[in-house]
């Protein structure tokens, strides 16, 4: 282990463990947390024990999961609350217009993935949990593509062949990102933009491919995101949100 890694504070190591969880992952075993956080298993065990004691991690049947205390802290973030208040009425409208589940995401300052703020989920038949999980994953992947494309970094065209659906230049050109899962779920996302044209977050919809009409859903999404972006840019404390 390098001197730099060994000298990291306990706080930094604890945060690195919390960042190991990816969208859609409910629980992770200790060995996987240690691997992703790049630390010895014994060190990870010691830190995890402290995090469980503080309530930011919980023990589940198959490993560790994020705890309620972490959720309570996140729910108090002022910018998240205000952005959620602006976007949630449009998410409800999207839910009714598309007949799919609708989601509000913000950019995650700690990592490359979109962070879920709130959702309006459709009513499921049998197999509710797998359907909800797949829609959540597809919407999160689409929102993450949006945040990458509108990150403020230069966007270069694909160097070889036709650009794929997640290519940043293509996403910016069409104004939305779309993800189709092997299980037949489609997720579509569009950006909520700051005055500098970077993404503060995204709205997304997801549902079964035969139920969700992608072209109409993308049109509704872009209109909703344009309205939220205008409201965002009129709100001084959110005008420069990242």
Helix axes 30-37, 10-18, angle to 10 degrees: 120
Give residue 81's pLDDT: 73
The two three-digit tokens of residue 171, written as one number: 């996403």
The neighbour count for residue 106, using CB atoms within 10 Å, is 24
Q: Could you tell me where the DSSP H helices lie in the chain?
A: 3-6, 10-18, 30-37, 41-54, 68-74, 78-98, 128-149, 168-174, 214-233
Q: Which domains does the chain have, with CATH numbers?
A: 3-73 (1.10.10.10), 77-238 (3.30.450.40)
Rounded distance between C-alpha atoms, residue 171 and residue 189, angstroms: 10
Give residue 176's pLDDT: 96
Smallest CA-to-CA distance from 203 within 109, 100, 72 is with 100
What values do phi and psi take at 205, rounded to 5?
-130, 150
The two three-digit tokens of residue 167, written as one number: 């290519």
Give residue 130's pLDDT: 55
pLDDT below 50 — which residues of the chain?
A: 1-6, 127, 155-161, 241-242
Give residue 133's pLDDT: 84
The two three-digit tokens of residue 233, written as one number: 């840019």
Q: For the stretch 86-100, what's the b/e string if a residue is b when 16 or more beta carbons lie within 10 angstroms of its beta carbon?
A: bbbebbebbbebbeb
Write out pLDDT tens, residues 205-234.
Answer: 999 988 889 999 999 999 999 999 999 888
CA quadruple 153, 155, 156, 158: dihedral positive or negative?
A: positive
């Amino acid at each position: 282990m390098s001197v730099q890694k060994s000298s990291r504070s306990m706080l930094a190591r604890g945060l690195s463990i919390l960042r190991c969880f990816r969208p859609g992952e409910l629980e992770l075993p200790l060995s996987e947390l240690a691997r992703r956080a790049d630390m010895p298993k014994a060190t990870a065990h010691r830190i995890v024990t402290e995090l469980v004691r503080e309530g930011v991690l919980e023990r589940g049947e198959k490993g560790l999961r994020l705890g309620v205390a972490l959720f309570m802290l996140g729910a108090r973030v002022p910018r998240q609350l205000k952005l959620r208040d602006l976007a949630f009425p449009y998410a409800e409208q999207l839910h009714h217009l598309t007949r799919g589940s609708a989601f509000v995401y913000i950019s995650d300052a700690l990592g490359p993935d979109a962070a879920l703020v709130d959702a309006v989920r459709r009513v499921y038949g049998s197999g509710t949990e797998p359907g909800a999980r797949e829609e959540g994953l597809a919407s999160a992947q689409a929102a993450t593509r949006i945040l990458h494309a509108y990150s403020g970094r230069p966007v270069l065209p694909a160097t070889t062949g036709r650009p794929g659906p997640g290519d940043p230049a293509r996403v910016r050109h069409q104004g939305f990102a779309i993800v189709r899962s092997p299980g037949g779920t489609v997720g579509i996302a569009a950006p909520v933009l700051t005055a500098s044209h970077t993404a503060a977050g995204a709205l997304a919809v997801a549902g079964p491919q035969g139920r969700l009409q992608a072209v109409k859903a993308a049109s509704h999404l872009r209109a909703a995101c344009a309205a939220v972006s205008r409201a965002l840019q009129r709100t001084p404390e959110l005008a420069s949100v990242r």
